[in-house]
Structure 1
């Protein structure tokens, strides 16, 4: 699949690559198999070789018993092939039996996407849940790398003009490729550390309760670390943005791509390294430079920092405040949890009934559907229910805080007044038109606005009648217009710009 056509990617097929991670019964076996294939370059293994490796993992307790049998391993391998993580292969072998031939001739190799998924999985499992340090030292490295890139590009262009196929030109192009690769590796690492750090920060600011040691750590995070990150960003990003927005730099990118991508040397389905496409340079520029209607990641970083500092300061202030009501019931809940831990099952039931009012009940309706929870799931492993701050802190669900202040909007007020004046002017013109048609409704042609007002008065007058043979009356008190309806023989015709209104056995009169 060509990397330049993401819209053609089969998402359903690729998402199946993650299916083995959610296999409840055999997930550990699938992980052991994929780690075996991903740990060696050009791994080409048979079911017997995989079975031997799974047997060693079984003895270490990493997989369930019985998973190392060849028949079981073959089933797991076929399932991974169906998901797309492995690809089957075959080669000639010397076998003493048909079974040995079947087990040895069919080989399995890992797919490219399967390796990438397993690599990301192992990296995720090794990652801690704490904050990740932002690689601030990469910002000056990127700034210096851009300047050096322009110098190397000029030297490479000069060498290619002298002798396109000479050793000097090839050496200059090789150094240019090294600089481009280094630059994008540095930017990729910087962007990854920034995303991870601010993802952790967003996770922290949503917490309501803080431990004593966490409060000290968050103070250092606020006062020292975040400030250093923002200072480095403000110091180096202007120079980087200035280089990326130069007119000569944008024109140099085209020459750079020509030197790094010789014509006819690569196929269209090859995944290129970063920096070899125009889209890569556009992405790099968008990370540092604002565009109309599309702020850069640097701007988003500054805004996120301001929000995070404000939220963390409020959290730390609430947790360390000595006056006022207690912000939460953490101490009481910890004491209650200790009582539960030290009590017998009967005492725990009594304690739960006393603490939460969970007395016995008789359910006459069918049991509701549980989402991943049943009577065999411990409460600690069951689904988590989000509790609002007012319930946690005060035990009630009432809204807190003052009513929002109504903001004064002079422009909006003037617009509404202008619209009201226009509506009054149109209504006055309509009333004047109907008043001018007094006594000769069947001889004039009404405008759409006059017809709408007439129909509204006609509806009100008809609603005043108790029977169809009665008369009715309605009026417009603002415009001083009155409409009377009475039974009459024949048909009254009212002409308008959009058609004709006929009233049978009914007559209407309009008086001003």
Structure 2
């Protein structure tokens, strides 16, 4: 198989695997039987090693049907079987069989086919239930985890030193085994604490980002946002400044150099998991191990606290987001409390207009809409927009929400105000882009040099992928010139001077081999001239 075909096959397999995993979420968007699917998945994920038949599922759904949790008739056995089969097709459930004692063929069919939930489906349903329980307000940041993480990294350093000594003295002894167990406990605890801290920080700043985009605050919201601004954010920042430098120093310093030894003692180094209390078994089996057992886990933890060239840490991003949020919140509170400005806000008028819409009938709503927004029928010059609701019976308050821009809310017009924002200088991004440009120039120079060296005998060499790409680029421009000149055409690289000349020659075939495949030109002659013999970076 050619390399290009092999790459396409790998990409197709990865795409298929991704699509199969995304199908696990299909039951959440099933509009007709969504509540039934949710009840079935909650039934399978409520107990460990659930193994249920269609009859047992139907009995459980009957209770939910009496409580009004699902629609009437969904507990009928034929409907339950259809829903279970659909979940199997999506990959949420898997089928199995076992021996049963049945009085009829129907009872055998209903009782012998068993259903179990798949591993990934358990995660999907767990995330769904957690999402439905999450309130809309801010999530408190687990600030107490920062000193716990700081202490955990220090304890881990001491435990690692003790485990190394015990493993060197008597690797198979009880002391070494106990030292490895303590080490594993501390690693698991550290990563659980960090995962909870990172999750609460992400959720809190996601809520904060929603708050800072609001331009009009109700009076009852002001006190809460003042507390959020003055007290809570300040406490979070103080804790970050107090504890993260020590954590970053330990992760990037002494502890960072001892990471290979730590992974070896945890059973994920060169010795592997065998005999270290791991899951063992088939080495080719995909096993999802606890966090902290791979190099990538520790690198991710280190990157959360430690800056790298061109990649700031999450702690740095947290500080920048805090400074930006404080400025935006101060502006929002000042705008809401000052009562000054060239033009008053139009929030009250918009709320009054919404009340009129709520009290009006269908005919009055159309007249009110035309009068309020000057959208009379005689002024329409475009076709009417599509209906934005599910059907004509959907009330306007239940339909999709339309965003109203700040200028319309505040001034009643869409005109731009103020000066254009300053362009901030970002030296890290600038150096990164320059490095990418230099690398691209070097690759192109090397490709031009390869084409120049092969100019005498293109059919006798095997070009690299970069060289073939440059040749195809120049060939395309030369073919465009050939269409005007009819017989021949040429194009040259403006920097390196390599010229490609293509001409029509009946019966002549030009074949160019490369790492990515072969290029065949029939009834065409190709000539290369000029160019530099060595590649280099453009200055």
Q: TM-score by structure 1 length? A: 0.74
C-alpha contact 1:319 1:327 (8 A) present in aligned 2: no
Residue 399 of structure 2 corresponds to: 382
C-alpha contact 2:346 2:409 (8 A) present in aligned 1: yes
Cα distance in 2 for residues equivalent to 1:297 and 1:18: 30
Q: Please, which moves more after superposition, 386-395 or 93-102?
A: 386-395
Residue 278 of structure 1 corresponds to: 295
Matches within 5 A, 1:365-376: 368-370=385-387, 373-376=390-393
Cα distance in 1 for residues equivalent to 2:401 and 2:423: 38
Q: Secondary structure at the match of 1:107?
A: strand
For the pair 1:301 / 2:307, whether they are aligned, the reply is no
Question: Which among 234, 238, 252 is matched to residue 258 of structure 2?
Answer: 252
C-alpha contact 1:50 1:73 (8 A) present in aligned 2: yes
C-alpha contact 1:58 1:65 (8 A) present in aligned 2: yes
C-alpha contact 2:347 2:409 (8 A) present in aligned 1: no
Cα shift at 1:325: 3.9
Cα shift at 1:27: 0.6
Question: Which among 125, 132, 150 is matched to residue 125 of structure 1?
Answer: 132
Matches within 5 A, 1:444-463: none
Q: Secondary structure at the match of 1:108?
A: strand
Map Cα deviations across residues 430-482 of structure 1 (whole Å, 9 max, x no partner).
Answer: xxxxxxxxxxxxxxxxxxxxxxxxxxxxxxxxxxxxxxxxxxxxxxxxxxxxx
Residue 31 of structure 1 corresponds to: 38
For the pair 1:82 / 2:89, whether they are aligned, the reply is yes
Residue 321 of structure 1 corresponds to: 338
C-alpha contact 1:139 1:232 (8 A) present in aligned 2: yes
Residue 202 of structure 2 corresponds to: 195
Map Cα deviations across residues 262-295 of structure 1 (whole Å, 9 max, x no partner).
Answer: 5435344100100000100000000000000000
Q: Cα 1:69–1:255, aligned 2, differ >3 Å: closer, same or farther?
A: same
Residue 214 of structure 2 corresponds to: 207
Map Cα deviations across residues 200-244 of structure 1 (whole Å, 9 max, x no partner).
Answer: 000111112111121111111111111111111011110001101
Cα distance in 2 for residues equivalent to 1:391 and 1:321: 20
Cα shift at 1:393: 1.2
Cα shift at 1:396: 0.9
Cα distance in 2 for residues equivalent to 1:207 and 1:307: 14
For the pair 1:163 / 2:163, whether they are aligned, the reply is no
Cα distance in 2 for residues equivalent to 1:355 and 1:365: 19
Q: Cα 1:154–1:405, aligned 2, differ >3 Å: closer, same or farther?
A: closer
Cα distance in 1 for residues equivalent to 2:286 and 2:422: 59
Question: Which among 82, 86, 107 is matched to residue 100 of structure 1?
Answer: 107
Bigger Rg, structure 1 or 2: 1
Unaligned runs of 5+ in 1: 408-497, 499-512
Cα distance in 2 for residues equivalent to 1:115 and 1:385: 36
Count of aligned pairs? 405
Cα distance in 1 for residues equivalent to 2:382 and 2:411: 33
Cα distance in 1 for residues equivalent to 2:343 and 2:386: 37
Map Cα deviations across residues 81-130 of structure 1 (whole Å, 9 max, x no partner).
Answer: 11111111111111000000000000000000000000000000000111
Matches within 5 A, 1:445-484: none
Residue 304 of structure 2 corresponds to: 287
Map Cα deviations across residues 141-199 of structure 1 (whole Å, 9 max, x no partner).
Answer: 11110110011111122222222222222211111111000000000000000000000
Residue 435 of structure 1 corresponds to: none
Cα distance in 2 for residues equivalent to 1:82 and 1:306: 49
Q: Cα 1:176–1:279, aligned 2, differ >3 Å: closer, same or farther?
A: same
For the pair 1:47 / 2:64, whether they are aligned, the reply is no
Map Cα deviations across residues 411-439 of structure 1 (whole Å, 9 max, x no partner).
Answer: xxxxxxxxxxxxxxxxxxxxxxxxxxxxx
Question: Which among 238, 242, 245 is matched to residue 238 of structure 1?
Answer: 245
Cα shift at 1:317: 0.9
Cα distance in 2 for residues equivalent to 1:215 and 1:322: 14
Question: Which among 43, 64, 71 is matched to residue 78 of structure 2?
Answer: 71
Cα distance in 2 for residues equivalent to 1:168 and 1:355: 81
Q: Secondary structure at the match of 1:130?
A: coil
Cα shift at 1:59: 0.8
Cα distance in 2 for residues equivalent to 1:241 and 1:126: 35
Cα shift at 1:361: 6.3
Cα shift at 1:402: 3.7
C-alpha contact 1:17 1:83 (8 A) present in aligned 2: yes
Residue 141 of structure 1 corresponds to: 148
C-alpha contact 1:318 1:327 (8 A) present in aligned 2: no
C-alpha contact 1:152 1:175 (8 A) present in aligned 2: yes
